Amino acid sequence: MSDTGANTAKVARPLSRGGPLDALRFFAAFFIVVYHYAEQAPVSLFSIHPAFGRGYLATDFFLLLSGYVLGRAYGSRVSDGRIHDGAFLIKRIGRVWPAHLVMIAAFVALVLGTTALGMQPRNPQWYQWDQLPQQVFLIQTWGFQGPSGWNMPTWTLSALLVCYALFPTMWRLFSRIGSPWMALLVGCAVFVAVDVFSRQVFGLPSFHLHLKNGLYRAIPLFLMGVLIARLAREVVIGPKLADALAVFAVVGFVVLNGIGEFAYPSLALLGLLIFAASGSAQNGWGWAKTGGRLSFSLYLTNQFVGAVWFAMQRLLDQKVALPEAAHWAIWAMAFPAALVFAWLFERLVDAPLQDWLKPRLEKATAGWGGKRERNQAAQAMVTTLR
């Protein structure tokens, strides 16, 4: 078999740092930052080209990628009964919630501090105190009323908590479908059905739903990512074909969105890009490894950096008359500022929190075991009694 073809007998490449997957994680997070900062430019990027207003595609890509990564990392362990469903969920919550709490505390401090100085938030509807508990406990997408609020991007974390809880059941259920292609087709049917339901009930496609209904958007996309992970494990492609498919997906995505809004084809190409990344032999990219590590922190902190940065820019505008080129330069500098802040947050906050928390969660869930471990323990007990 040529290395350009597909072969179900080959072994899928393991997930590794510094390759296409890390690069994709970083680009998805960075485009979300572009989307969030677009309206703060001297001329809104949304008015320059409609493609800048399709940040939902970056978020959808993030959800697809989340399902894919978990499917690749934990799918076989779920199938073999080597992980307890509750232990899996607790560890996933432990991965996202502590850093989220730190950023929520930072937003609260920012709002209290600026209010004490007589500076009101530019969008006060985002910082309503009665919505803070929903934000703290990451339940804002579970049907609650109100605007996005506080650290808006964390709506995806709220939805992903439910996805994490469903993941083991998803994997087992769709594993009963013998063909990974058929499983993926069923997943596509689920996505389309939920989108049709959303249009009929809410009057919006699923990718434009209000954030309080984010579960309808997130769960089908996460499921699609999980099924792409299964496909990548069972249908292994050679590196040349993988790289060719990746180029096709990227070029096709750019061309499509340059022409107009083609949501379904765009999502299909993003799914193809993720699948292609599984077969690529490219690795050792230092920048991608760093970017992959920063992606979560960048996603979590960019709204805070933007709130501070552009508030300072408005204060400067009130005191100094700057030319338009200077406004563009200041706006552009928000992106390296977001990257630097994310790097500091990852190094000084997120990584130390995880280093402290992981062994404690391992210890707390050590006795739970998966089905396989429980069966082995039971068999050992029977042998001992005999």
2 has pLDDT over 50: no
Per-residue exposure over 209-220, b if at least 16 CB sit within 10 Å of its own CB, e if not = bebbbbbbbbbb
Token reading at 128: 């309503």
Residues 158 and 300 in one domain: no
Residues 43 and 98 in one domain: no
Grade residue 147 by pLDDT with cuts at 50, 70 and 90. Answer: low
Give dist(CA 365, CA 373) in Å, integer: 13
**Of 186, 212, 236, which residue sits at a domain end?**
236
4 has pLDDT over 60: no
Give dist(CA 157, CA 162) in Å, integer: 9
275-280: average pLDDT? 86
Residues 167 and 79 in one domain: yes
Domain that holds residue 359: 23-53+295-363
Q: What is the pTM (predicted TM-score) of this model?
A: 0.88
Count of structural domains, the chain: 2
74-94: average pLDDT? 90
Per-residue pLDDT reduced to its tens digit, 172-222: 999 999 999 999 999 999 999 999 999 999 999 988 888 888 899 999 999
**Of 236, 270, 304, which residue sits at a domain end?**
236
Residues 117 and 33 in one domain: no
Q: How many helices (H) and strands (E) does the chain have?
A: 14, 2
Residues 27 and 124 in one domain: no
Q: Look at residue 382 in the predicted model and tell me its pLDDT.
A: 38
Supply the DSSP symbol for 139.
-
Q: Which residue has the tokens 């996309």?
A: 221
Residues 161 and 308 in one domain: no
Q: Look at residue 93 in the predicted model and tell me its pLDDT.
A: 95
Residues 178 and 301 in one domain: no
Residues 172 and 83 in one domain: yes
What is the CB neighbour count within 10 angstroms for residue 38? 17
Residue 146 gets the label, from left (phi > 0), alpha (psi -120 to 50) or beta, of left
Grade residue 385 by pLDDT with cuts at 50, 70 and 90. Answer: very low
